[in-house]
Amino acid sequence: LVDGEATVMVARGSLPNGLFQRPVGLGWNADEYGSLVASPQGPVHLVWETNGRIRHTSSRDGGRTFIATLLPSEGTDAGQPDIALSPDGSLLVCWNRDGTIFLSRRSPNSASFSAPVRVSDEAPSLAAGPGPAQLAADEEDRVFVAWTSLWGTDRDITIDCSLDGGLSFGTDQRPGERSQNLADQVLPALAVGPDGMVYVAWIDCSRAEGQCTYPTASCHEICLTYAALGDSPPPGAPADLRVYQKTDHSIALRWIAPGDDGTEGRAARYDIRHSTDPIDEQSWETADRWSEPPEPSEAGLADSMTVRGLDPGTQYFFALRAADEPGRWSPLSPVVVDTTVALTAALSSFEAQWNGDRVHLTWSVGTGKSTSYFFVQRSSRAACPASERVALNTTPLTGTENYYLPDTTAIPGRTYFYWLREVVPSQAVFYHGPLSVSVPTAAPEIGLTNQPNPFYTTTIISYSIPDFPLSRAHEVQRTPGLPVGGPESSHGPQHVSLRIFNLQGQLIRTLIDEPQDPGRYEYGWNGTAESGKSVGAGVYFYRLEIDEHVESGRMIYIK
């Protein structure tokens, strides 16, 4: 009972006189839906919902005193509980949480309830509707749960069965006839007869006027049905499990389908598992379950599937079970073990070297391994992510055993790092390298000369500044992470000085001392010093410096 103050109340009495004691409040708040069961051995059990949690209390003195406990109802949105006793004295409690029915079990010698087991199917369009679920158990340790399901605006009676005392449940069954009425089939009642038959009764509000057996204004009718659930044998074990194909990341399995009743009919579903450890009855639950098993075929036909996402070169164990509609599972199939293909690269050699005007890249694969395809990548940094490297070929190279690719864009004075990206037929990728190549600085063509030589009035000194840096100190610095390659931007002017010296190494005159852009230059010297005075006849030297590059020439001045 729940009184006006939302307090749990219990009244006890005796028959046949029908007199009950005054109800006693237990001091605990209740929102709705209490359920009570008394054990033949004496304990009285009560469950109810308060603040979205399921509470349980029991009494071992005939209902005079109770001790409260809390069920593991997974959250704060549980409600509508029911309670039942199994033949061995285990306590069963089910409840509705956010449209899903759960069940928990407590054995006679345990002080706590088991982790909740999901009862209702995981259909996204289906939810448990209003009103409590109904719970019953029989002498064979079968557990039955009935509830009202919502199908959009429709309501239907749903029942599920567990053949292992509530540890697992099968596929939901619907004994009613779903209609298009907002309030059609609600509030089921559930009972198990001594003959093992399961009886379900409910209120049917969907009948049109004139269709009821006993027509009334509201046309609500009590309906009842029954069935011998779980009385047929479970599926047989899938037979002849074997591996028929494998790659580095998958193994394909084939087996003979069992029936839903032993070796007859068609099973409802498979549970296929794999593990790197041996699989048996004890380790079955810890093995990895394949999420998309195939639909079972008729008994005796071959079924197959491919388990993907496996690791290369790894040994795996495989096994499966089949279930029928009520959720009874077959024995374990034979266990098969096999190893995925180990990944190996086809590459046998990879070389890179400077050959005068370009970097030559060569590589080879083993005999009969020409099915890989390759991309060459380059960077100016050894520690460069693959996404930031420059691909020297956009079309994959494949189909032969020996390969050659030139890099004609390498710039003198720089060091490059080369990788070879290999893609094997399974689409696995291997990176080889890096190999480093230092491109030597090209011999500059300055063309330093003076004409005429000897001279007696004026000589013209000429030279050229190339369009690349003559000093690594002035090499262009690129922002880290940017690709290297393609057209190079101008490096800017280089510092140039042109000076005249006598035989004693004394500076006579500076003709130029400033930055200059690439190009051809000419400067005349008329045999005068910095002061403007004419120097004496004799041998003189001119010295040209372009950054750190130095050249000189000899000239004769006559009068």
pLDDT tens string for the chain (559 positions)? 444 445 556 666 555 555 666 666 666 666 666 788 887 667 888 888 887 888 888 888 877 788 877 776 666 678 888 888 888 888 899 888 877 888 898 888 888 888 888 887 654 445 566 567 888 888 878 888 888 877 666 677 788 888 788 888 776 666 654 433 334 566 778 888 776 678 888 777 665 555 555 444 455 677 776 665 555 677 889 999 999 988 888 999 999 999 887 778 899 899 999 999 999 988 998 999 988 899 999 999 999 999 998 988 899 999 999 988 766 788 999 999 999 888 777 788 899 988 877 899 999 987 767 788 899 999 999 888 888 999 999 899 988 889 999 998 888 889 999 999 998 877 778 889 899 999 887 666 788 999 999 998 999 999 988 766 654 333 332 223 322 333 333 456 889 999 999 988 899 999 999 999 888 999 999 999 999 899 999 999 999 998 878 899 999 998 8
Residue 543's alpha-carbon distances to 462, 509, 510, 518, 530, in angstroms, are: 12, 11, 10, 18, 16
DSSP 1-24: -B-TT-EEEE--EETTTTEEPPPE
**Spatial distance between the Cα atoms of 292 and 303, rounded to a whole number of angstroms:** 14
Separate counts of helices (H) and strands (E) for the chain: 0, 41
pLDDT value of position 11? 61
CATH of 449-557, one of 2.60.40.4070, 3.40.50.10860, 1.10.1270.20, 3.10.150.10: 2.60.40.4070
**Spatial distance between the Cα atoms of 330 and 259, rounded to a whole number of angstroms:** 10
Please state the pTM of the whole predicted model.
0.41
**Spatial distance between the Cα atoms of 281 and 284, rounded to a whole number of angstroms:** 5
What are the percentages of helix, strand and coil residues in the chain, rounded to 5? 0, 50, 50
Domain boundaries, the chain: 7-227, 239-339, 347-438, 449-557
Tell the CATH topology of 7-227: Neuraminidase (2.120.10)
The CATH code of domain 347-438 reads 2.60.40.10
* Cα dihedral 309, 294, 231, 146 in deg (nearest 10): 80
Given CA atoms 68, 73, 77, 81 in this order, what sign does their dihedral have?
negative
Residue that has been written with the tokens 């197959």 in this structure:
304
**Spatial distance between the Cα atoms of 348 and 111, rounded to a whole number of angstroms:** 67
Q: Tell me the β-bridge partners of 341.
A: none
Q: HSE (CB half, 13 Å, CA atoms) of 181? A: 15
225's enclosing H/E stretch is strand 221-227
Candidates 102, 92, 82; CA nearest to 189 is: 82
Candidates 457, 508, 150, 163; CA nearest to 327 is: 163
The CATH code of domain 239-339 reads 2.60.40.10
Tokens of 55: 């509470």
Tell me if 7-227 shares its fold with 449-557: no
Helix, strand, or coil here: 61?
coil
